Structure 1
Amino acid sequence: MRILGIIPARGGSKGIPGKNIKKLGGKPLLGYTVDSVADSKLLTKSILSSDSEEIIRTGKQLGVEAPFIRPADFSRDDTPSIEVVKHTLAFFAASNEYFDAVCLLQPTTPFRSKGLIDDAIRKFESGSYDSLVSVREVPHEFNPHWTFEETNGRLQIATGEKKIISRRQELPKTFHRDGAVYLTKTEVILKQNSLYGDTIGYVENSGSDYVNLDTEADWEKAEKILKAKS
């Protein structure tokens, strides 16, 4: 299976200015994802998609290919990730280069367990999945069966059930996406306009510390994680 790795790194971040190339533990944030890509043996090709010449320059210094500058139309605050992926696939299709699947690797989730990308690819290739995502288990106190939605000033169980599960031991195991890996078949992306499709596999990224960088508080958390490790 030919799999294209895409590292999306837009310029103009508002929550953390310049975050994709901001130094985290002495290394540009982008570098953590580039290192994970370099560790993979199963990605056919990996590229950086950015609208920023500075990010592209940094990416190339880190050793990742950046074959184009992403157009402004695909680089707005509200641009969905799937549009970035479709633009990249179209770029390569114009040169008659095609891929069976895409692996989206967001720099904002920098801490991946070693071998996570290839573990995800192996499971993806061996199963009948439209997509596969990396996940972490939801702590029982935040399990959706124990959370509520507000409707007209009243609360109802978020899962829609009428009766709450009373014992922790009876709660089903639930997960949340951690943003480290998204794998999707190309035909699902192009025909269904979806990064998920109908059948979603998963791989747990529980072997590493978790942070998803969106705010300055998130950045401080990442710095504390690295400090604790050192």
Structure 2
Amino acid sequence: MNILALIPARSGSKGVPGKNTKLLGGKPLLAYTIEQALEVSLFSKVILSTDCEQIAAVGKEWGAEIPFIRPASLATDSASSIGVVQHALDFYKEKGETFDAVCLLQPTTPFRAPHLISECIQKMKTENWDAVVSMLPVPHEFNPHWVFESDEKGALHIATGEKEIIKRRQELPNAYFRDGAVYLTRTEWLEKGSFFGEKLGFVLSNPTTFVNIDTLSDWDKAEQLIQQLKENS
């Protein structure tokens, strides 16, 4: 498969100002994701999509390709990730280059293992999924069969629509949530505006190294994880 690894890193973060180039454990946040992507031999290209020349310079220093500077319209708070990916695909299509799939790797999940990325690719190849996404298990107390939603009158109903709640934890079906580390999607579905397609597979991430950096408290957690990893190495 011809796969494009795309690392999105826009400027203007509000939760953690300048987070993509902010030093985490002595190196820029986005450097972790670039290094992981470059360790995977299954990518045709590893590119950084950014609207910022400074971020681009840091990305290039750490080994990512910088084929373009992303338009400002695709770097706002409301800009969608799918739009960012489609922009990159259109850029290469104009040059006569196409890809079978794109692997979106967000810098905000810096501790994914390279083998997790490879596992997603192999799973797509061997099991013919439209997309493969990294996931983590939902704790049983937040399982959708135990979650309630309120209606317009304030009455609560089981989120799944069932009338009776599942009483025993052991009977709950497995549930998962996206951890943000890997989104691998076939190009035909990305062009239709979907990261998931109709047949979605998943690979489990490591919960002990999970952090998705959006706030300063998330950053503090990442710093603590780095310290723990150093102590355990």
TM-score bin (small chain): over 0.9
Deviation (angstroms), 1:161: 0.9
1:194 paired residue number: 194
1:62 paired residue number: 62
Residue identity in the other structure for 1:168: R
After TM superposition, the runs of 4+ consecutive aligned structure 1 residues lying more than 4 A away are none
Deviation (angstroms), 1:208: 4.9
Deviation (angstroms), 1:207: 6.2
Give the distance between the partners of 1:39 and 1:184, measured in 2 at CA: 20
2:37 paired residue number: 37
Say whether 1:175 aligns with 2:176.
yes
Identity %: 54
1:132 paired residue number: 132
Give the distance between the partners of 1:126 and 1:19, measured in 2 at CA: 36
Deviation (angstroms), 1:196: 1.1
TM-score by length of 1: 0.97
SS in structure 1 at match of 2:201:
strand
Equivalent residues in 2 for 1:64-213 (5 A)?
64-151=64-151, 152-190=153-191, 192-206=192-206, 208-213=208-213
Unaligned runs of 5+ in 1: none
Deviation (angstroms), 1:114: 3.9
Give the distance between the partners of 1:208 and 1:88, measured in 2 at CA: 33
Cα offsets for 1:106-156 (capped at 9, x unmatched): 001111134111111000111121111000111111111111112221211
Residue identity in the other structure for 1:37: A
Give the distance between the partners of 1:212 and 1:160, measured in 2 at CA: 30
Residue identity in the other structure for 1:148: F
Give the distance between the partners of 1:144 and 1:117, measured in 2 at CA: 28
The answer to whether the 8 Å contact 1:113/1:207 transfers is no
- How many residue pairs get matched? 229
Cα offsets for 1:73-115 (capped at 9, x unmatched): 1111101100000000011111101101110000011111341
